[in-house]
């Protein structure tokens, strides 16, 4: 090899080595903190927060690993900051007693209620029977929970899966007495029952109050729907 070429190559190699060492020395040494360490510190603090009602918490997100300078590492958990829907636990990072940053571990608060749900799949236009319902603990969605009695006899306009909550707003009254229909009126009073054929002026479902017209007495009465095309009026203890 030409001596001049060899010298040039050696100089280039030494320059490359020197640049690499200079670059390495210019980059500060770091250490990695696994994100699970923050989660482990925050968990007991979050679970110690007093929740109202039937509630539970779940971690909102995974904490990413953190890169910090080399040195004596210190992680300090602060007090939880809580609302009715969210809990946040701050974790302070320090290296060699110098503050680096604060990481927040978040938890969602889920409220639960006990309400009526479908005991099995329901097809559209089904009239709800007691056997179609059961009570279950479900996540609170903002809608008022209800018991089974409030739903029996009502109609669903859409399909429901087994275990799906049923709310009054998602059902319709099953009109077993329709306006203009001829219905049977049973008047109960003082141990005597009187039966008459009347005309429904308003419609309603089981347990609803409807107005009926008696063509014989020419009176308008309010009666309770007790069955398809049947209403009852109880006048016990008084006169009508």
Is the domain of 37 the same as that of 93?
yes
> Would residue 15 count as lying in a domain?
no
Is the domain of 82 the same as that of 36?
yes
pLDDT of residue 189: 80
Is the domain of 143 the same as that of 88?
no
Query: Over the chain (240 residues), what is each successive 10-residue block's mean pLDDT?
Result: 54 56 62 97 96 94 97 97 95 97 97 96 94 96 91 91 94 89 89 88 88 92 91 72
pLDDT of residue 40: 97
DSSP 3-state of 219: strand
CATH code, 156: 3.90.1210.10
Is the domain of 130 the same as that of 116?
yes
> Would residue 64 count as lying in a domain?
yes
Domain closes at, from 131, 155, 173: 173
Is the domain of 107 the same as that of 119?
no
> Would residue 240 count as lying in a domain?
no
CATH code, 223: 2.30.30.760
Domain tally for the chain? 3
The separation between CA 154 and the C-alpha centre of its own chain, rounded to angstroms, equals 24
The predicted model scores a pTM of 0.61
Is the domain of 105 the same as that of 117?
no
> Would residue 20 count as lying in a domain?
no
Domain closes at, from 129, 146, 173: 173
Q: Which two tokens stand for residue 207?
A: 């347990």
pLDDT of residue 22: 47
pLDDT of residue 16: 57
Is the domain of 88 the same as that of 36?
yes
C-alpha span between 184 and 50 (Å, rounded): 57
Under a CB-based contact definition with an 8 Å cutoff, are residues 45 and 38 in contact?
Answer: no
pLDDT of residue 34: 97
> Would residue 7 count as lying in a domain?
no
pLDDT of residue 199: 95
> Would residue 11 count as lying in a domain?
no
C-alpha span between 109 and 58 (Å, rounded): 7
The CA-to-CA distance between both ends of the chain, in Å, stands at 128
C-alpha span between 34 and 62 (Å, rounded): 11
Nearest to 55 by CA among 114, 110, 137: 110
Q: Quick count: other Cβ atoms within 10 Å of Cβ 32?
A: 9
Nearest to 118 by CA among 141, 105, 134, 95: 134
pLDDT of residue 27: 59
CA distances from 146 to 127, 143, 206 (A): 17, 9, 17
pLDDT of residue 239: 44
Is the domain of 39 the same as that of 105?
yes
Q: Quick count: other Cβ atoms within 10 Å of Cβ 160?
A: 21
Domain closes at, from 61, 92, 111: 111
C-alpha span between 226 and 2 (Å, rounded): 115
pLDDT of residue 28: 74
In the block, tokens 């017209």 appear at 213
DSSP 3-state of 132: helix
> Would residue 202 count as lying in a domain?
yes
Range of the domain at 135: 112-173
């Amino acid at each position: 090899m030409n001596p001049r070429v060899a010298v040039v190559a050696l100089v280039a190699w030494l320059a490359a080595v020197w640049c690499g060492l200079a670059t390495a020395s210019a980059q500060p040494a770091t250490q990695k903190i696994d994100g699970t360490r923050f989660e482990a510190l925050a968990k007991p603090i979050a679970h110690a927060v007093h929740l109202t009602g039937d509630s539970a918490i779940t971690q909102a997100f995974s904490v990413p690993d953190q890169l910090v300078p080399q040195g004596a590492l210190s992680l300090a958990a602060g007090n939880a900051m809580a609302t009715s829907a969210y809990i946040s636990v701050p974790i302070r990072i320090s290296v060699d007693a110098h503050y680096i940053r604060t990481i927040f571990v978040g938890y969602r608060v889920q409220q639960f209620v006990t309400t009526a749900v479908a005991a099995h799949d329901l097809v559209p236009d089904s009239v709800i029977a007691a056997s179609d319902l059961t009570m279950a603990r479900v996540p609170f969605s903002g809608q008022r929970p209800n018991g089974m009695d409030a739903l029996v006899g009502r109609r669903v306009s859409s399909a429901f899966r087994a275990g799906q909550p049923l709310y009054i707003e998602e059902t319709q009254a099953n009109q077993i007495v329709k306006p203009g229909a001829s219905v049977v009126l049973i008047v109960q009073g003082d141990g005597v029952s009187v039966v008459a054929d009347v005309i429904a002026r308003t419609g309603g479902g089981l347990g609803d109050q409807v107005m009926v017209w008696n063509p014989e007495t020419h009176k308008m009465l309010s009666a309770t729907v007790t069955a398809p095309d049947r209403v009852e009026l109880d006048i016990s203890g008084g006169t009508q």
